[in-house]
Amino acid sequence: MKEKKYYEEKMLHGTIELPVGVHKMSYPADSDTLFYPHWHNEFEIFTVTKGRCEVTIEEESFTLSEGDMLFINTNQLHSAVNAGDGEVTFFALDFSYEMMESDVHSNLYKEYIRTVMEGEVVFKKLMKAGEKPWYDELRTHVLRYEDTEQKDIKDKELELKYTIFAIWNLLYQHPIYKKTTDKYEKRTMGRFRPVLKYIRENYSYDITLAELAAIIPMSEGQFCRSFKSVTGYTPIQYLNRQRILMSCRALADTDESISEIARRSGFSNISYFNKVFLRTIGCTPKEYRKGERLNEF
């Protein structure tokens, strides 16, 4: 329990009862980095209201101008830099799936929310201003809360819930990809959920390939092939990504040494930790820690 609490995300978007965050941010013309790589469990609709910026989601970059929007899925790394020579302002609406459905066993969650979180349904990420009528409709819903203070959203709980359903419905009606899974594929994805859960709960310990394959169970070779087909990562890549994401929290939230954070995150070799961190996040652990404390968002 202590280990999990140690790595809890510092910033809660909204409250447990109302998990919605509203963020209106402004940066002067001489700003370079708007916010450093970070991730959170909530979905995010990011809207530029002035200027130009470049937002990177995982390894994909997008240039946005005034009125452009981005959908950022849960648990995806994202960062932003100024892409012009003027002031940049933006509005971000962050919300948990629990605003729509808290029962993970319900049909609503399984069919319309989990499919998006797991990549079976892929929403449009970049929505350019004026390109399609439904983009404008979506922006209207989102910017309804541009001037709302976080402390005041409780008074708009019913309206917020309605708006988030309207946002989700628009996105869901216009996906760029909707995977049609047969019964075999659904069984395969279901079989790997205990493995993913095991990694999330034990990432700080030594985990072997044989240990993971035994959960299914499968031969190690078959396990590796099947795991990558389901997640898009090899088992080691997935494990290291989980460890790096957890280390980001510790770098931002604590004053512990980088070597101690590496050890707590499951890396016995500090050089390997630095190498994997740089490849995953795009900067060194030291740079990430410094940036988070200067640009907390």
List, as one string, the DSSP characters of 87-129. Answer: -EEEEEEEE-GGGT---TTSHHIIIIIHHHHTTSEE---EE-T
* Per-residue pLDDT at 1: 30
- Domains in the chain: boundaries: 2-178, 183-294
7 DSSP 8-state letter:
T
The CATH topology of domain 2-178 is Jelly Rolls (2.60.120)
pLDDT at residue number 293: 54
Residue 9, pLDDT score: 40
pLDDT at 160: 94
Query: Rounded distance, CA 58 to CA 40, Å?
Result: 13
What count of other Cβ atoms lies within 10 Å of the Cβ of residue 278? 15
Within the chain, which residues score under 50 in pLDDT?
A: 1-10, 296-297
pLDDT tens by residue, 84-118: 999 999 999 999 998 999 887 788 988 899 889 87
Answer whether 0.75 is exceeded by the pTM.
Answer: no
> Are 39 and 77 spatial neighbours (Cβ–Cβ below 8 Å)?
yes
Residue 187 confidence (pLDDT): 58
Task: Give the strand order in the sheet containing 60-64.
Answer: 33-38, 78-82, 53-57, 60-64
Please give the CATH topology (third level) of the domain spanning 183-294.
Arc Repressor Mutant, subunit A (1.10.10)
Query: CA-CA distance, 81 to 162, in Å (whole number)?
Result: 32
Give the distance from CA 107 to its chain's centroid. Answer: 23
